[in-house]
A and B are shown apart, each in its own frame.
Chain A
Amino acid sequence: MFPNSFEYMAPTTLAEAVELMQRHEYDAKVLSGGQSLLPMMKLRMAAPPILIDINSIDELRGWKEESGFLRIGALTRHSELENAVELRDRYPLLAETAVWIADPLVRNRGTIGGSLAHADPASDWGAAMLALHARVEGIGSGGERQIPMDDFFVDTFTTALEETEIATAVLVPKPAGRTAGRYLKIERKAGDFAIAGLAIHVVLASDGTVAEAGFGICACGPVPLRGKRAEEYLLGKKLTPETIDDVSRMVPEDADPEDDLRGSAAYKRDVLRVFAERGLSDIAKELQGEGVVG
């Protein structure tokens, strides 16, 4: 239960971190919350010779609204987003999702940047950021760039970030109308990774039709997946029971789950359907008042 020996560096500025990453290339790994990297090192599934701890870099902390989007620093802890009351109205999916990640201890350490960079298929943030149509901002030898979520996850534990690139922030678009979000997750026990999870993000236009729709599927594929068919279908429609029923059948079609200790693929697909139906019905109630428009 000890990692292989490694060298440890703790830069205090982003520039310094970028420089160190470039100098050490493949030998270096970013240490953020350590909640995925350190367990893997202790199990000796990962053995990076050098750790570059980014926890002392203030530029990576906190969030602020900029033109067109909310910029969330990569070092933002899961628990900070869970408790960010000021974000609840406009970005409800953030707190909805955060509370489902792991347990309170892990949430106090784990970061949104680390969760995305790790690219675990069961990353709850992965599903939520897909639903929110977010972008990841990274910095490396080529300077700064933004990667849309659709291009970000390449494969299990692999992202579009270069080996020497550091994720600096997540950019969540500002909603263009009344918004609601739900995160639905089933787990074998509290604090477990998802058996299946579904992030739902909806923005209604002033006429009550859906202006933005987002579905992020967790733990049902090699990476977190987008419920593309459901999104396309929902745009411009009203949230009626029939629409909800139709959409909930489409969500599993974009999932690609496997049989494992957490359940069969058929089970996971069906849970996604149930989640879509429940989440959307709830959102309809919230945004349209008690009666779902018939």
Chain B
Amino acid sequence: MAKSQTELRPLGKSVGRKEDPRFIRGMGRYIDDIVLPGMLYMSLVRSPYAHARIKHVDPSAALEAPGVKLVITGEDLAAMDLAWMPTMAGDKQMVLATGKVLYQYQEVAAVIAESREQAEDAAQLVDVEYEPLPAVVDPIQSLDPDAPVLREDREKKSNHIFHWEAGDKEATEELFRNAPVVVKQNVRFPRVHPSPLEPCGCVADYQSSTGKLTWYVTSQAPHAHRTVLSMVSGLPEHQIRVISPDVGGGFGNKVPVYPGYVCAIVASLKLGRPVKWIESRTENISSTGFARDYHMTAEIAAEEDGRVLALRVKTIADHGAFDAAADPSKFPAGLFSIVTGSYDFKESFVEVDGAYTNKAPGGIAYRCSFRVTEAAYLIERVMDVLARRVGVDPAELRKRDFIRKEQFPYQSPTGWTYDSGDYEKTLDLALEKIGYEELRKEQAEKRARGELMGIGISTFTEVVGAGPSHTFDIMGIKMFDSAQIRLHPTGKVLARLGVRHQGQGHETTFAQIIAEELGLSTEDVLIEEGDTDTAPYGLGTYASRSTPTAGGAAALCGRRIRDKAKKIASHLLEAGEDDVVWDGVSFSAKGLPDKSVTMKDIAFAAYTNVPEGMEPGLEATYYYDPPNLTFPHGAYIAVVDIDKGTGAVKVRRFLAVDDCGNVINPMIVDGQVHGGLTEGFAIAFMQDIPFDEDGNCLAPNWMDYLVPTALDTPHWETDRTVTPSPHHPIGAKGVGESPNVGSPAAFVNAVVDALAPLGVEHIDMPIFPWKVWEVLREHGVNK
């Protein structure tokens, strides 16, 4: 049960969410709630073709339509040198198409009018003549040397974007040559979309009188967006204020900068009036950052008893028309090399090749620390293939291969230093809680009767919290994060951080961290994020990085405040600083516990009665550059029953045992896990953005891109073990993404386990009923 917010020492307690009252009552203030005087509206004209030459764009009819103020075309932007913009992955992307369109729904023109309806009506009047070209949809065909070159702007005349590798190739080959057992599996992670409830949008407000641009945008990374905007537009950075109001879900979708944003800003600059642009659902799904779309092949070399030796992975990454991933710059395939997972591989070699296709641009991390989901899914899936091949129970096989707790900090063959973990303990708890042995017995009985029941395990490891400045940057900006704490004279606290929450509960959890450090209650601490004019610089919220980075900054910033507070306490207590002790709630002089001062007393003194020579006030800023990433892990178990007649899969039980180190707020962690599991469930069973051979997007709305509701969602059981991070200031790790990262493999492993007696080794997601039915039919089950 949620605790009151007035309790002292709140860390680790299920304090009620401070943000809930406004969200639950529908009083959140989102981007579309922002209405400014004189505001205009923008609508985009999009390409109906996936690949076509633009013969001409004629805006004249639109310009004559009622209320229309401006039409912007690609040529207009080209004249301003803004037809292209950089992506966060170091590629560039068309803002409005010139010459060619490269995917269906690509932005071709922007229409700005007095009302939203007028803008939308007029957008239909922009006359665009296209000459369709053959579309390249399949990334494997796109890498064929004979494939038409899609990106004519690039020097390199091929659709190959990058080659990236990790690990020791030779040493890996060597182990494969002599291995008694080798298993190989092709695994596809479909193209999925974060599909936040609130689509993307912004209001650009340029004031010609002051030269200042205020840009309201639904952004997970407002500071980074300000810097990018300044670099792209040439506007001085201090004249740009980015405000990210309440964000209605992000999941990585709100990290990139989208063409619509640039158009709205250009329109506001040109017209001197605020311009609002709010995407439709179709625009969100069809044109903004998708995730995954990895075509992977994994091979494991192992001993006869299933002890793993080496892992070899080859991947083709479909990025669509532009590489619009938002990965740290040294990592074009994100942190995919975490693919050795929880297992003690001696060697590993991982390759990824990026490909352009005539599909929407992206490759963003959907509730995922940069391709960790693809990695975790792959290794957990293939470990099951190995288990079956060597005839060892998948739980037992995992235990044989786990990195042991004594091995931490563990050096992985692809270069990661895992901070801490106790994989066996987590799995043991999960097995016991789910009643693994009894389930296997039940399964044996059911199999004897011809019924299909499956149990799937996933014991994943993540790498989150990017990250240390020696390795991690986005467009050159190091990936530290920040906190700033200000105590007011009455002992109340305003704290601002460089991250930007979208449902993670920062207003509560960061208040808990700060209250804990200052001996106050959560109620006393107000958290603000998302306004670049007020918050300290930081790279934003994604990749489970907020607690590992800004959370660390908050704790250390609190300690910095406490250091000064101690000096003031010594003054108030009339004791030497060395004799002043902090008991978590107040300072007292050694041996004189009756006389104490609280942070509230000290805050007042900081403004009324500071010691001689001390700077008044009580505030601090902390930029925290983490020494390492954090490596949360978990053991998930799914139990499914399959209807042989229809192929429908019912998830009977699902247990998630997570280990995210020290827990700040158990209720919020549970909430994060529930949400992430629901997304993982959707990915496993219903989500995919397919295209036809002409590159038409076949699931550009919620009719066909499926988002589960409470009616579909299984009951989630959760538990946890605690293995603190040794380097994080409060021993915490990230958790927001674990359930999305870890669960798909558990679901798929369970389905494959149910079908295993038929000889089935793999089935690709999403597991629609018809796919199962087809497998059953192939194996002669349903006549």
Contacts and interface: CB of A to CB of B under 8 A. Distances in A.
Contact of A278 (B645, B706, B770): B645
A216 to B, nearest CB: 18
A257 to B, nearest CB: 11
Contact of A189 (B124, B645, B647, B712): B712
Nearest to A104: B711
Contact of B645 (A43, A191, A195, A271): A271
Interface in A230-276: 261-264, 266-267, 270-271, 274
A195 B116 contact: no
Contacts of A103: 709, 711
Contacts of B116: 2
Given A190-B709, A195-B770, A264-B774, A4 B698 contact: no
A1 B279 CA distance: 9
Interface string A178-212: 00000000101111100100000000000000000
A5 interface: yes
B686 A2 contact: no
Contact of B706 (A188, A266, A267, A274): A188
A195 B774 CA distance: 15
A264 B709 contact: no
Given A2-B116, A103-B709, A263-B768, A189 B280 contact: no
Contact of A261 (B117, B648, B698): B698
Which of B280, B282, B646, B711 has most A Cβ within 10 Å? B646
B494 interface: no
Interface in B630-679: 645-648
A121 to B, nearest CB: 14
Interface string A264-294: 1011001100100110000000000000000
Interface in A95-116: 103
Interface in B85-139: 116-117, 120-121, 124
A122 to B, nearest CB: 11
B280 A270 contact: no
A149 B699 CA distance: 33
Nearest to B116: A2
Given A5-B117, A189-B712, A274 B704 contact: no
Contacts of A266: 777
A1 B280 contact: yes
Contacts of B770: 195, 262-264, 267
B646 to A, nearest CB: 5
B114 to A, nearest CB: 14
Given A186-B646, A264-B774, A192 B706 contact: yes
B370 interface: no
B773 A270 contact: yes
Contacts of A271: 645-646, 773
A49 B782 CA distance: 51
B768 A190 contact: no
Contact of B646 (A2, A43, A261, A274): A274
A5 B712 CA distance: 37
B711 A191 contact: yes
A271 B769 CA distance: 10
Interface string B681-707: 000001000100000001100001011
Interface in B758-783: 768-770, 773-774, 777, 782
Interface string A1-19: 1101100000000000000
B18 interface: no
B68 to A, nearest CB: 15
A267 to B, nearest CB: 4
B12 interface: no
B708 interface: yes
A38 to B, nearest CB: 14
Nearest to B280: A1
A63 B25 CA distance: 38
B679 to A, nearest CB: 13
Contact of B121 (A4, A262, A264, A267): A4
A156 to B, nearest CB: 16
Given A267-B773, A270-B773, A261 B690 contact: yes
Interface residues of B, number: 30
A267 B645 contact: no
Nearest to B773: A267
B693 to A, nearest CB: 14
B769 A186 contact: yes
Which of A5, A43, A44, A188 has most B Cβ within 10 Å? A188
A190 B686 contact: no
A263 B647 CA distance: 11
A262 B398 CA distance: 36
A43 B707 CA distance: 19
Given A188-B768, A195-B770, A261-B704, A2 B711 contact: no
Interface string A58-87: 000000000000000000000000000000
Contacts of B648: 186
B117 A2 contact: yes
A235 to B, nearest CB: 26
A2 to B, nearest CB: 5
Interface in A30-67: 43-44
Nearest to B708: A189
A266 B690 CA distance: 21
Contacts of B699: 261
B769 A263 contact: yes
Contacts of B777: 266, 270
Contacts of A192: 706
Interface in A146-191: 186, 188-191
B281 interface: yes
A263 B706 CA distance: 15
A270 B699 CA distance: 25
Contacts of B282: 1, 43
Contacts of A263: 768-770, 773
Contacts of B706: 188-189, 192
A20 B569 CA distance: 83
Contact of A267 (B117, B690, B712, B774): B774
B709 A195 contact: no
Which of A1, A192, A266, A271 has most B Cβ within 10 Å? A1
Contacts of B712: 189-190
A264 B769 CA distance: 11
Which of B121, B708, B773 has most A Cβ within 10 Å? B773
Which of B120, B698, B707 has most A Cβ within 10 Å? B120
A5 B699 CA distance: 27
B117 A195 contact: no
B686 A189 contact: yes
Contacts of A189: 686, 706-709, 712
B41 to A, nearest CB: 10
Contact of B769 (A5, A191, A195): A195
A264 B647 CA distance: 13
A185 to B, nearest CB: 10
A250 to B, nearest CB: 15
Contacts of B645: 271, 274, 277-278
Contacts of B117: 2, 5
Nearest to B769: A186
B43 to A, nearest CB: 9
Given A103-B711, A189-B686, A1 B281 contact: yes
A162 B296 CA distance: 56
Contacts of B121: 2, 4-5
A274 B708 CA distance: 25
Nearest to B644: A274
Interface of B: 116-117, 120-121, 124, 280-282, 645-648, 686, 690, 698-699, 704, 706-709, 711-712, 768-770, 773-774, 777, 782
Q: Give 4 nearest A-B pairs by CB, closest first.
A: A263-B770, A190-B711, A274-B645, A1-B280
6 contacts: A190-B709, A190-B711, A261-B699, A266-B777, A267-B774, A270-B773
Given A4-B121, A5-B117, A195-B770, 4 more contacts: A2-B116, A186-B646, A189-B706, A189-B708
